[in-house]
Structure 1
Amino acid sequence: MAGRSVSPGAALLRTSRMFSMPPPIPSPTGDYSSATKHYSPSATIPFPTHLAVTTTSSSRLAGDWGFKRPFPLKTTTDTTYPLVRVKKVDSIEQVTDFDSASDHVITLRKYQEMALPVSVPAVSASRYHKSVFEEDSDVTALDDEKKKEMVNKRWKFTGPWLAGMTDGDFSRFLEKTVRGRRIEFRAFLRETLAAEMTTDQAKAAREAGEPEPPKVTASEISEQQLNDFMRVLRVERMTLYNLVSQFLDLAPVDVDVSLRLLGKFMPGSAKEFENGSPYGISGPPITHPSAGISYLRTRSFLENHTLYGPQKHHAPIQARILKPTNLATQNFRPSIGVAGFVANTTNADTAFNAVRGRGTTKFQKQLFGFELEKRGGSKVYVDLSSATIDSFGKIIINVDESSSESEVVQKELAGELAEGESVLEHLVRARERAQERSQIPLNPRSGLSGMNSYNRLQGSASNYGLRS
Structure 2
Amino acid sequence: MAGRSVSPGAALLRSSRMFSMPAPIPAPPGDLSSATKHYSPTSTIHFPTHLTVTTTASSRINGDWGFKRPFPLKTTTNTTYPLLRVRQVDSIEQVTDFQSSSDHAMTLRKYQEMNMPISVPISNSHDPHSAVKYMKSVFEEDADRTALNDEQKAELANKRWKFSGPWLAGMTDGDFKKFLDKKVRNKRSEFRTFLKKVLAAEMSEERARKARDAGEELPPQLTGDEITDDQLTDYMRELRQDRMTLYTLVSQFLDLAPVDLATELEMLGRLIPGKRKEFARGSPYGATGPPITHPSAGISYLRTRNFQENHAIYGPQLQHPPIKARVLKPTNFATNSYKPSVGIAGFVANIPSEDTVFNASKQRNVSEFSNAMHKLDVDKQGGSKVYVQPNMATVDSTGRIYVTIGDTNAQSELVQKEMVGEGVVFDEVVKKGAIPEVPRNPRDTGSFSARPGSTVSSSARGYGLGGTFGNARDYE
| Normalised TM-score (structure 1) | 0.90
Contact 1:359–1:368 (CA under 8 A) maintained in structure 2: no
> 1:268: Cα distance to partner?
4.0
2:349 corresponding residue in structure 1: 343
Task: Find the aligned partners of 1:423 and 1:299 in 2 and give their Cα distance.
Answer: 32
1:117: how far off?
0.9
**Partner in structure 1 of residue 226 of structure 2:** 220
For residues 394 and 261 of structure 1, the distance between their equivalents in structure 2, rounded to whole angstroms, comes to 28
Name the structure 2 match of 1:451: 450
- CA 422–2 in structure 1, closer or farther in 2 if over 3 Å, else same: farther
Q: How big is the shift at 1:448?
A: 7.2
What residue in structure 1 maps to residue 111 of structure 2?
Answer: 111
- The match for 1:52 is 52
1:381-400 map, 5 Å: 381-400=387-406
* 1:27–1:358 Cα change, 3 Å: farther
Q: Secondary structure at the match of 2:349?
A: strand
- For residue 145 of structure 1, the aligned residue among 130, 137, 151 is 151
Q: Which residue of 1 aligns with 2:28?
A: 28
Q: Which residue does 1:354 correspond to in 2?
A: 360
Is 2:137 the partner of 1:131? Answer: yes
Give the Cα–Cα distance (whole angstroms) in 2 for the partners of residues 257 and 179 of structure 1.
25
Question: Secondary structure at the residue paired with 1:256?
Answer: helix
Task: Name the CA shift for 1:351/1:188 in 2 (closer, same or farther; >3 Å).
Answer: same
Query: Is the 1:85–1:100 contact (alpha carbons within 8 Å) kept by the matching residues of 2?
Result: yes
Structure 1 partner of 2:292: 286
8 A Cα contact 1:84 1:102, kept in partner: yes
What displacement does 1:257 show?
Answer: 8.0
Q: Tell me by how many angstroms 1:400 deviates.
A: 0.2
Equivalent runs, 1:182-197 vs 2, <5 Å: 182-197=188-203
- The aligned residue for residue 318 of structure 1 is 324
Q: Which residue of 2 aligns with 1:441?
A: none
What are the Cα deviations for residues 35-88 of structure 1, in whole angstroms up to 9, with x where unaligned? 111111111111000111111111112222111222122211111111111111
AA paired with 1:66? G
Which deviates more, 358-367 or 105-114? 358-367
Contact 2:86 2:97 in 1 (8 A): yes
Give the Cα–Cα distance (whole angstroms) in 2 for the partners of residues 136 and 366 of structure 1.
Answer: 43
Distance 1:86 1:4 in 2: 24
Q: Secondary structure at the match of 1:344?
A: coil
1:5 is aligned to: 5
C-alpha distance in structure 2 between counterparts of 1:424 and 1:14, whole Å: 66
Distance 1:422 1:298, change over 3 A: farther
Q: Which residue of 1 aligns with 2:94?
A: 94
What is the one-letter code of the residue matched to 1:341?
F
Structure 1 pair 318–229 and aligned structure 2 pair: CA distance change class (3 A): same
Distance of 1:423 and 1:116 partners within structure 2: 33
* Comparing 421-430 and 390-399, the one that deviates more: 421-430
1:259-305 Cα deviation digits (max 9, x unpaired)? 27988841441123434211111111111111111111111111111
Matches within 5 A, 1:50-449: 50-124=50-124, 125=127, 126=130, 127-256=133-262, 259=265, 265-355=271-361, 357=363, 360-417=366-423, 421=427, 449=448
C-alpha offsets along residues 135-186 of structure 1, whole Å, 9 cap, x if unaligned? 2211111111111111111111111111112222222222221122222111
AA of the residue aligned to 2:448: S
In the alignment, structure 2 segments of 5+ residues that lack a partner are: 438-445, 464-476
- Is the 8 Å Cα contact of residues 238 and 273 (structure 1) preserved in structure 2? no
CA distance in 1, matches of 2:45, 2:8: 39
**1:221-244 Cα distance to aligned partner (Å, 9 max, x none):** 221111111111111111001101
Q: Are the counterparts in 2 of residues 263 and 273 from structure 1 also a CA contact under 8 Å? A: no
Q: Distance in 2 between matches of 1:135 and 1:191?
A: 29
The answer to whether the Cα contact below 8 Å between 2:260 and 2:283 also exists between their aligned partners in 1 is: yes
Give yes or no for contact 1:408–1:423 (8 Å, CA) kept in 2. no
Q: Deviations 1:421-444 (Å, cap 9, x if unpaired)?
A: 35667997999xxxxxxxxxxxxx
Q: Which amino acid aligns with 1:407?
A: E
Q: Deviations over 1:367-426 (max 9, x none)?
A: 111111111110000011100011111110000011100011111222223698356679
Contact persistence 1:260–1:272 (CA under 8 A):
no
Alpha carbons of structure 1 residues 72 and 265: separation in structure 2 relative to 1, 3 Å? closer
Aligned counterparts of 1:311 and 1:360: Cα–Cα separation in 2: 28
Give how far 1:348 is off: 2.8
SS at match of 2:334: coil
- State the shift of 1:210 in Å: 2.2
1:315 maps to a residue whose letter is P
Asked if 2 retains the 8 angstrom alpha-carbon contact of 1:413 and 1:464, the reply is no
SS at match of 1:145: helix
One-letter identity of the residue aligned with 2:382: G
The CA distance in 1 between the partners of 2:163 and 2:154, in whole Å, is 11
Alignment partner, residue 438 of structure 1: none
CA distance in 1, matches of 2:191, 2:48: 39
CA deviation profile, 1:80-115 (whole Å, cap 9, x unmatched): 111111111111111111111111111100000111
Query: Unaligned 5+ residue runs, structure 1?
Result: 432-446
Structure 1 pair 253/171, CA: closer, same or farther in 2 (3 Å)?
same
Sort the Cα spacing of 1:256 and 1:391 in 2 relative to 1 into closer, same or farther, 3 A: same
User: Contact 1:152/1:276 (CA < 8 Å) preserved in 2?
Assistant: yes
- The letter of the residue matching 2:48 is P
CA distance, structure 2, for counterparts of residue 228 and residue 425 of structure 1: 88
User: What count of residue pairs does the alignment treat as equivalent?
Assistant: 450
Determine the C-alpha separation between the residues in 2 that align with 1:99 and 1:182.
51
Q: Identity over aligned residues, as a percent?
A: 61
Question: For the aligned residues, what is the CA RMSD?
Answer: 2.6
